[in-house]
Structure 1
């Protein structure tokens, strides 16, 4: 357990699955979102869900649901900004927020610890996860202090790509192994769900 809250980014439109909420699809009997919650709850001091539309659809999870407040659904940066603003208002002692994709069912159990260790060791403002030589920009640590600068980038500069924004700051990158499975596997298609069912057995069910 850390003093870092976490946000689950669950606002995607799931076009490649025919629409709907990707995180609500089931893998080996449990929703993807429940798997994400189970992984992150022991690592964070609390969790929120970032999603747009009717928040009641997430009521069963018992977590605060925070919508974007930047117009036109500009993507994950807006969700991260919403989480930083929520943290500043509700967890004023928290200096960092973990973000994670709501469609990654096998997140590492040491995600927060390793990101925080690397960020502190490198005196970085941000930290991001990587595996197989590929960074995962929506999975990382964000400084609450930077929320004003992030809002400016989104609203005034129309910035959408996470990598463009993080390039402005000292960034720690932490690599995870991809065996026996990539912990950042994400379920984007119907085929991915079938593969996730197989991987769940390697990950302990």
Structure 2
């Protein structure tokens, strides 16, 4: 049985093209005096042993974050799994066994994200689990950009991506990933920002909580 004796590394997934926001770096949008990316960094960094950013293009535009920038190693923007793979390769270079990922456009994700993901994989030989939300209807919705991922499966993931696989849950189901379920009855902690209207809603959420 694998024991969790240390925090994992964290990777923020920001490799998308933000087409519904008009392109550019969605993480640079202002959300109540801080960038969207800063909100995510502030929530994830206390939960992990080290943090990196998966992003494509000129890495210098993120120099102010002080984070390692991990570009996709698979071409043509294949989606979040490419960011996961970049993070796993980074973790392998540091001799670590897993990473936890979070999306760069989700400023309210749980402060116990990592703890619950680790708990969900405590009896697994390799740590693989996705975060899920459960609403008032008791339905469970998987959050495929929030998960814990094992370095041991990085070559399998690389082969899958090179073979054309793009959908996260197809790969995680193949490896019998567990789930870490979070309560979304009051509000969805994985609310993400894809449109100007959703950015306005996020501002209202923050202002209502002040």
TM-score under structure 2 length normalisation: 0.91
After TM superposition, the structure 1 = structure 2 runs for residues 163-182 of structure 1, keeping only pairs within 5 Å, are 163-182=169-188
Cα deviation digits, residues 18-69 of structure 1 (max 9, x gap) = 1111111111111111011000111000000000000111111110001011
C-alpha contact (below 8 Å) 1:84/1:144 kept by paired residues: yes
How far apart in 1 are the matches of 2:6 and 2:206?
Answer: 26
SS in 2 for 1:47: strand
Structure 1: which 5+ runs fail to align?
A: none
Task: Name the counterpart of 1:7.
Answer: 11
Q: Distance in 2 between matches of 1:8 and 1:137?
A: 13
**Alpha-carbon distance in structure 2 between the residues aligned to 1:87 and 1:173:** 22
**1:2/1:43 contact within 8 Å kept:** no
Q: Distance in 2 between the 1:6 and 1:28 partners? A: 24
- Residue 142 of structure 1 and its aligned partner are, at CA, apart by 0.2
Look up the SS of the partner of 1:167 in the other structure. Answer: helix
| 1:114-162 per-position Cα deviation (integer Å, ceiling 9, x unaligned) | 110111146664111111321101100000000010001011x211111
**Distance of 1:106 and 1:170 partners within structure 2:** 27
Query: What's the counterpart of residue 45 of structure 1?
Result: 49
- What does residue 25 of structure 1 align with? 29
Measured in 2, the distance between the counterparts of 1:45 and 1:124 equals 19
Q: Which residues of structure 2 form unaligned runs of 5+? A: none
Contact 1:124 1:172 in 2 (8 A): no
Moved over 3 A (4+): 121-125
| Aligned 8 A contact 2:126 2:152 in 1 | no
Work out the CA distance in 2 between the residues paired with 1:186 and 1:84.
24
Give yes or no for contact 2:118–2:127 (8 Å, CA) kept in 1: no
Would the aligned equivalents of 1:124 and 1:171 in 2 still touch at CA under 8 Å? no
Q: Partners in 2 of 1:48 and 1:188 — Cα distance?
A: 22
Shift of 1:170: 2.3
Q: 1:180 to 1:201 in 2, by over 3 A?
A: farther
- Match among 67, 83, 88 for residue 63 of structure 1: 67
What is the aligned residue count? Answer: 201
- Change beyond 3 A, Cα 1:24–1:188: same
What is aligned with 1:134? 141
Deviation, 1:181, is: 2.5
